[in-house]
Structure 1
Amino acid sequence: MAIILALTAAASVLASLLLVPRTRPPDPVPGRAVPPLAGFAAVTALFYLNQVLFTVYVARVHGGDPSFVARYLPSGWFALADLDGLARHVPAPGLLAPTVLRVQAFLELPLVLLAYATVVRWLDDGLYRRLFATPVVWAASASWTLTFCLIEAELRNPWTDDDIAIRIVSGVVTPLLLNRMARRGGPSPASASVAGLLLFTAATWALGQLVLTLYDTALIYNLGHLGGRLPGALAAVAVLAVVLPLRRRVRAPADGDAGPGRAALALVAGGLGQGLALFFVPALSVRYGVRFGAAPYLVMVAILLATAAVATLRASPGRFPTARTAAGALAGAAAAYAAVRLVTDPYYEAGLLRGLAAGFAVLVAVAGVRTPRRRAAARRRSSPTGGA
């Protein structure tokens, strides 16, 4: 499994390096745009509906004992909620048998692709169309579907063959829908400012928290954990409810507002965009590959990051603001390390999310800070007399 997964990741990295730099975003087509966040919310609702129906099925058909499926899967799955009261009123519970693994097999790919699309569109709508309205999304779907199928084969059980077939169907249907959604993209709020990037960071952290909650309570059938996870999930929803409207009020920096701060922020935003673009296709194979021996996958990530850095520097006008961005990178790395070490997490992704959010926020704050002299110069440029 480790060798096959490593080959999948390597092929995905190669496809990303060959395909992504040559791809340009198409012009948006007329029509009402459906934001990927709305699609993510819809798929999330379907996941929880399936969890409720699965719990009813187990209660009525298997006497509340999930061992008929749990014995084939790792420990930590199938902490069921108590829905006996509801289960008694559901007719023909045997018809709910497809809730066992099969629904998850179809919904998992659109869930993770929509989450990725949401983050990308928050950063840059042009980048969103470049990745999701072009063949790049098909390459990502192929890589992610193959990775999911490899994991299915590793956890072989009586449902495996059906699940692999369902995942292949999802791997065709999902990019078709995402491609159609992305072609109807529209302007997104400006991110290349201190406020814009900090709000983007907060929104991305909140979405990541929701994904982690969904993973624990729905993807591995632990609806019984929802009560403990609910406060954190509600806090993340509250953050999104505050941050997303604020992002729409953030204005892009004025053309005359030049200086090291703006150049550094443009470099940070451009580098993040390049990183998200190059990491898109191999993301899932690298994520699962970490569990099968981290070293080769870390090398692949380093290659992608180095390529993203070179591409960003080549595309950046003017002089590279070395001191400012270097100071921000060092401060961000220290903040990320402290954030990861601060708490012991049940899933390593939770610490990684917290560290990345804290590190990026500090990087943005340091890179974009204005000295008093720069602020005074900016005020003179924006005054009606131009400071004369």
Structure 2
Amino acid sequence: MVVALAYVNQVLFTVYVLRVHDGDVSFIAKYLPEGWFALADGPSMRGVAERFPVPESLEPSVLRVQAFFELPLVLLAYVTVLRWLDRGLYRRLARSWLVWAASISYTFVFCAVEWDLRNPYTMDDIVIRVCSAVVTPLLLWWLAGQEESEAGETSPVRLLLFAASVWALGHLVLTVYDTALLYNLGHLGGRLPGAIVAMCVLVGARWTASRLRSDAGAGVALSSIAGGLRWVLVLFFVPALAVRYGPNVGAPVVAAMAGLVVCLVASVCSLRETLAGVGTRRIVLWAAQAVAALSAGGAAGYAAVLVVKDTYYEAGLLRGAGVCFAVVAAVCALTDRWCDIPETVRAEGDVGARPM
């Protein structure tokens, strides 16, 4: 619904510019960096614009409307990913104080960017963003209240479907970011084929995930990966947007270090839960699994980043992270099949295999 309303506003904005400013966006484009305001100025759009009554009333479509929708788009996308991984954890997080902390954190970043790109609508946008910061957590609180609390199941197939779903959703969010939030509706035609592919992947992955039966679950290594991911999503929830905008404000090293700290803390928390009481031998095997999985995943992820030159660096990072996670999960799942065999079973198998 948020995405649909954002695109409705894009159509209304285009009508306003075509009718009131004769298609010239310089009245607002001069205040913002390059890469904004590529109008969808075709026969169909001009036909809509010519028939629209009182186009002057659409003046609020310039920056103000999108200022309200940006926060719910980001937060809803984030908690959607968390819900796919663990519905119970999603419900607890969305109904906790963390959702308010994230709303304040994201709004502060958005307002800082607004102030850096000052224009005639800046003060209006800041007020609107503050209003959105109050409404959006209430929306998430209500939505999570409708959810049944249940523990998240971990299995190789579910995690691979999760990786595919996150990639597809991320691709769609980047498409919306470019074509709607940056007012580049004219780019939609070129991005539509990729968006359709991503939508098909997303629908297929979620349909398949909804029909999976409960299985034996995950081994030690795969459980540590899933647990680490849960911790990352919780710990990264509040500072996520500040880290994302770090490279844009000239602090890529700080952003990278912040992301690394989150990952390290999440790893420690996950390993304390997963490796508690498993024995020294299993911990050594887990370390070997981790080296193999991270090596294979890192190489695959790096190759995925290099294979395509992206307009936005987030697209390459998203693709690389998705491929890396899928390979790591696959390697952990395969090696768990051998490493998690109990010692007694392995010993009996060895005896039975010896010739008489």
Report the TM-score, using the length of structure 2 for normalisation. Answer: 0.89
Alignment partner of 2:22 out of 23, 38, 63: 63
How many aligned residue pairs are there? 332
Alpha-carbon distance between aligned partners in 1 of 2:339 and 2:266, rounded to the nearest angstrom: 30
Aligned 8 A contact 1:189 1:250 in 2: no
Report what 2:305 is aligned to: 340
Amino acid in the other structure paired with 1:146: F
Alpha-carbon distance between aligned partners in 2 of 1:334 and 1:207, rounded to the nearest angstrom: 23
Match of 1:88, SS state, is helix
Correspondence 1:147 to 2:121: no
Alignment partner of 1:75 out of 12, 15, 34: 34
Aligned 8 A contact 2:222 2:336 in 1: no
Segment of structure 1 superposing worse, 146-155 or 119-128: 119-128
Alpha-carbon distance between aligned partners in 1 of 2:242 and 2:340, rounded to the nearest angstrom: 46
Amino acid in the other structure paired with 1:364: A
Aligned 8 A contact 1:78 1:220 in 2: yes
Deviation at 1:130, TM superposition (A): 2.6
Alpha-carbon distance between aligned partners in 2 of 1:142 and 1:375, rounded to the nearest angstrom: 44
Percent identity of paired positions between Structure 1 and Structure 2: 55
Alpha-carbon distance between aligned partners in 1 of 2:176 and 2:151, rounded to the nearest angstrom: 27
Structure 1 residues 193 and 318: CA distance shift in structure 2, 3 A: farther
Report what 1:386 is aligned to: none
Deviation at 1:182, TM superposition (A): 1.2
Match of 2:69, SS state, is helix
Deviation at 1:290, TM superposition (A): 1.6
Indicate the structure whose relative CO is greater, using CA pairs within 8 Å and at least 6 residues apart: 1
What CA RMSD, in Å, does the superposition of the two structures yield over aligned residues?
1.9
Alignment partner of 2:271 out of 313, 337, 360: 313
Correspondence 1:276 to 2:233: yes
Alpha-carbon distance between aligned partners in 1 of 2:108 and 2:51, rounded to the nearest angstrom: 40
Residue pairs, 1:139-288, within 5 angstroms: 139-186=101-148, 191-254=153-216, 262-288=219-245
Report what 2:85 is aligned to: 123
Residue pairs, 1:12-91, within 5 angstroms: 42-82=1-41, 83-91=45-53
Amino acid in the other structure paired with 1:144: Y
Report what 1:32 is aligned to: none
Match of 1:68, SS state, is helix
Deviation at 1:45, TM superposition (A): 0.2
Alpha-carbon distance between aligned partners in 2 of 1:373 and 1:265, rounded to the nearest angstrom: 13
Alpha-carbon distance between aligned partners in 2 of 1:309 and 1:372, rounded to the nearest angstrom: 22
Aligned 8 A contact 1:265 1:364 in 2: yes
Gaps of 5+ in 2: 346-356
Q: Deviations over 1:179-201 (max 9, x none)?
A: 11112222579551110000000
Amino acid in the other structure paired with 1:204: V
**Higher Cα Rg, which structure:** 2
Alpha-carbon distance between aligned partners in 2 of 1:318 and 1:375, rounded to the nearest angstrom: 14
Q: Deviations over 1:103-143 (max 9, x none)?
A: 01000000000000110000001221232110000000000
Segment of structure 1 superposing worse, 90-99 or 292-301: 292-301
